[in-house]
């Protein structure tokens, strides 16, 4: 029988809110989060966990061994903030130049809650749980670093499933997810056009790299709508153009930057081929040479079909049909929990937490004015605990 984690969570909600507000007031960015790491360690101290601290970053991996034999599941909460100056009117607003503008303070607090809820039911727990407290989700992939350091083997065997909950604007308390692709993969693109500089009054004696670069920027934007299926989209706006520092100088080089988003891994090689063909062709036509840096970042965040359907059923049964909605389409943002889901079947879930009286569409994640209602922390912790317990008991 699955415990009533909602009732248990109500008893620790005020503690979780205190933790969340302390984290919110003292955010840390990137891989080095010493204060946040210590706050997590203090919050789970004394719960008889097997704890490992990260080497390359301030991560925490905690393993809870259940009182009954069974497999292992993984629950994740990310801990890092963004380099954003907060503009909310919270009494616990950050003043240090960073901000939990993506709600990771709630994710960390929610996972702490899940640790406490499951540890209190240790004797009933049929298996083990790995709790993944992750830095650097907003950077270059803290999840991959944790995998490289052995997180998935922390319990002695790989998890059979992995789950994470991420807050977002929307009607408070509504969970959403979907099977298959949930969020896009991304690629960082940099193209340098090499020509030969000169005086702007005599372009005939130079090989101007700016002209082919601007032509290339337009061609790349057009290419995505002509070479890729609209039902398997690629998004590739050129966001950076760099040339001369003076308006009377034709530079030797000019460059552009773009962040490509895609939903199918098969598109990566096609993108590389198409971009190279177009860049080389335009460069050659202008007597220039294109140098292309094509750096894949996070892979597509893909929910396992069976796990996503099961997760939706569990959330609906616990919270009611009015508290769950299936996402109709993937989102083109990216998330490094994708590295975990590439290794372990699982589900990534959103929880809407816009405060009452605030328009959910007024501010989005990463805005300096975005607000998330921490009265939903109990449900976040309880949902994670329920998914872990129920999956082990399945």
pLDDT tier, 141 (very low <50, low <70, confident <90, very high otherwise): confident
Residues 23 and 122 in one domain: yes
Residues 173 and 212 in one domain: no
Q: Return the pLDDT at 226.
A: 87
Residues 38 and 157 in one domain: yes
Domain end residue (candidates: 296, 318, 349): 296
**How many Å apart are CA 145 and CA 150, to the nearest integer?**
9
CA 11 to the chain's CA centroid: 30
Beta-bridge mates of residue 260: 187
Mean pLDDT of the chain: 96
Q: Return the pLDDT at 111.
A: 98
**How many Å apart are CA 88 and CA 156, to the nearest integer?**
44
Residues 285 and 307 in one domain: no
Residues 304 and 245 in one domain: no
pLDDT in tens, 351-376: 999 999 999 999 999 999 999 999 99
Q: What percent of the chain has pLDDT over 70?
A: 100
Q: What percent of the chain has pLDDT over 90?
A: 93
Residues 90 and 233 in one domain: no
Residues 202 and 250 in one domain: yes
- What CATH number has the domain bearing residue 274? 3.30.70.360
Strands 68-78 and 161-168: parallel
What is the count of structural domains for the chain? 2
Q: Return the pLDDT at 1.
A: 87
Residues 280 and 208 in one domain: yes
The helix, strand and coil proportions of the chain, stated in percent and rounded to the nearest 5, come to 35, 25, 35
**How many Å apart are CA 179 and CA 281, to the nearest integer?**
40
Residues 78 and 112 in one domain: yes
Q: What is the mean pLDDT of residues 172-181?
A: 96
Residues 310 and 292 in one domain: no
Residues 99 and 141 in one domain: yes
DSSP helix/strand/coil, 298: coil
- What CATH number has the domain bearing residue 114? 3.40.630.10
User: Which range of residues forms the domain containing residue 58?
Assistant: 5-181+300-393
Question: Can you list the positions of beta strands (E) in 244-303?
Answer: 249-250, 253-262, 289-296, 301-303
Residues 153 and 229 in one domain: no
pLDDT in tens, 104-114: 999 999 999 99
Q: Tally helices (H) and strands (E) across the chain.
A: 9, 17
């Amino acid at each position: 029988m699955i415990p009533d984690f909602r009732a248990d969570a109500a008893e620790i909600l005020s503690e979780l809110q205190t933790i969340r507000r302390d984290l919110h007031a003292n955010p840390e960015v990137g891989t080095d989060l010493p204060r946040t790491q210590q706050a997590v360690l203090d919050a789970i101290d004394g719960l008889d966990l097997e704890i490992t601290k990260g080497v390359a970053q301030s991560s925490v991996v905690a393993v809870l061994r259940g009182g009954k034999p069974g497999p292992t599941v993984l629950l994740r909460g990310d801990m890092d903030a963004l380099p954003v100056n907060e503009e909310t009117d919270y009494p616990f607003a950050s003043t240090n130049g960073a901000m939990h503008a993506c709600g990771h303070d709630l994710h960390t607090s929610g996972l702490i809650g899940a640790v406490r809820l499951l540890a209190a039911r240790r004797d009933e727990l049929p298996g083990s749980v790995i709790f993944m407290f992750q830095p650097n989700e907003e950077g270059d992939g803290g999840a991959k670093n944790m995998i490289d350091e052995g997180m998935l083997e922390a319990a002695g065997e790989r998890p059979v499933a992995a789950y994470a909950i991420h807050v977002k604007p929307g009607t408070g308390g509504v969970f959403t997810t979907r099977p298959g692709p949930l969020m896009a993969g991304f690629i960082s693109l940099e193209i340098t056009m090499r020509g030969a500089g000169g005086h702007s009054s005599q372009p005939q004696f130079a090989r101007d790299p700016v002209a082919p670069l601007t032509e290339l920027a337009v061609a790349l934007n057009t290419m995505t709508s002509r070479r890729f299926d609209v039902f398997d989209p690629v998004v590739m706006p050129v966001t950076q153009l760099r040339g001369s520092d003076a308006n009377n100088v034709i530079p030797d080089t000019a460059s552009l930057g773009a962040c490509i988003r895609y939903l199918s891994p098969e598109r990566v090689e096609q993108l590389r081929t198409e971009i190279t063909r177009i860049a080389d062709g335009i460069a050659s036509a202008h007597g220039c040479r294109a140098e292309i840096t094509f750096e894949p970042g996070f892979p597509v965040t893909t929910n396992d079909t069976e796990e996503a359907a099961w997760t939706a059923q569990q959330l609906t049964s616990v919270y009611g049909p009015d508290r769950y909605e299936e996402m109709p389409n993937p989102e083109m943002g990216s998330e490094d929990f994708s590295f975990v889901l590439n290794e372990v079947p699982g589900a990534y879930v959103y929880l809407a937490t816009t405060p009452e009286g605030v328009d959910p569409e007024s501010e989005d994640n990463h805005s300096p004015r975005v607000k998330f209602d921490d009265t939903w922390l109990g449900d976040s912790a309880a949902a994670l605990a329920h998914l872990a317990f129920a999956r082990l008991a399945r």
